[in-house]
Structure 1
Amino acid sequence: MKYLEYKGYTGSIEYSPQDSLLYGKVLGVKGLISYEGETGKHLEEDFKEAVDTYLAHCKETGISPEKPFKGSFNVRIPAKLHQKAALLAMEAKTSLNNFVAEAIRYRVEKDPA
């Protein structure tokens, strides 16, 4: 297992040899939601508690929780690559968005995380 998953949130798994401690943070959100544990089981429990605490705090304060990996992001690429991709998308009678999504899908299926 490379990541922790809970209620739509994904968490990293890291190890600190200096502290002999596992730790991580929730990925795909701007705010820092971190957790730690001495064992994998403790790490997973603290991860779930951190997510639950975050969601409870959002509910108490009346703010919407951040949704990780919303499905939209900005990509900066060289102008020449942008041009080539846009022309290939037009030739394929598809949008640039669909063209890029298909390229990413191909790469993700080839080498899943």
Structure 2
Amino acid sequence: MINVMKIDGYDAVINYDPDIEMFRGEFINLNGGADFYAADINGLQTEGKASLAMFLKMCEEDGVSPKKQYSGKFNVRLSPELHESLVLKAAAAGKSINQLVVDSISHTVADGF
């Protein structure tokens, strides 16, 4: 199931909330929170545009960039056994651990949604 909706060039993850019997959209990669709710796709698009417009207006008023900036670094926690296997696999491939992880993630992300 593809649960990403693009609204005015920004991505939002969509999930269904059975407790309120509505879909919830949440924009990602923003410097703050912007979410919206609706019962159907048309409503999600309408509410998403309104939520995004409000968020962008607030960013402009506050003089901040709406998009989150990423450093390109993140920590990963894994078991000692998996860490050991990763070191072995990287060495056998003639790569650093970092390059093996980047290659693996690139392959996974390139598969798309």
User: What's the TM-score once normalised by structure 2's chain length?
Assistant: 0.69
Q: Which residue of 2 aligns with 1:22?
A: 23
Residues 33-75 of structure 1: CA deviation (Å, up to 9, x unaligned): 1112233112112112222322221121012324277754321
Within 5 Å, give how 1:82-93 maps onto structure 2.
82-93=83-94
Q: Which residue of 2 aligns with 1:42?
A: 43
- Specify the code of the residue in structure 1 equivalent to 2:65: S
Q: Which residue of 1 aligns with 2:95?
A: 94
Gaps of 5+ in 2: none
Distance 1:38 1:86 in 2: 48
Q: Which residue of 2 aligns with 1:105?
A: 106
| SS of equivalent to 2:68 | coil
Shift of 1:28: 4.8
- Specify the code of the residue in structure 1 equivalent to 2:104: A
Query: Is contact 1:27–1:68 with CA below 8 Å preserved after alignment?
Result: no
Q: Which residue of 1 aligns with 2:58?
A: 57
Gaps of 5+ in 1: none
Q: Which residue of 2 aligns with 1:12?
A: 13
1:79 aligns with 2:80: yes
User: What's the TM-score once normalised by structure 1's chain length?
Assistant: 0.69
Paired residue total: 112
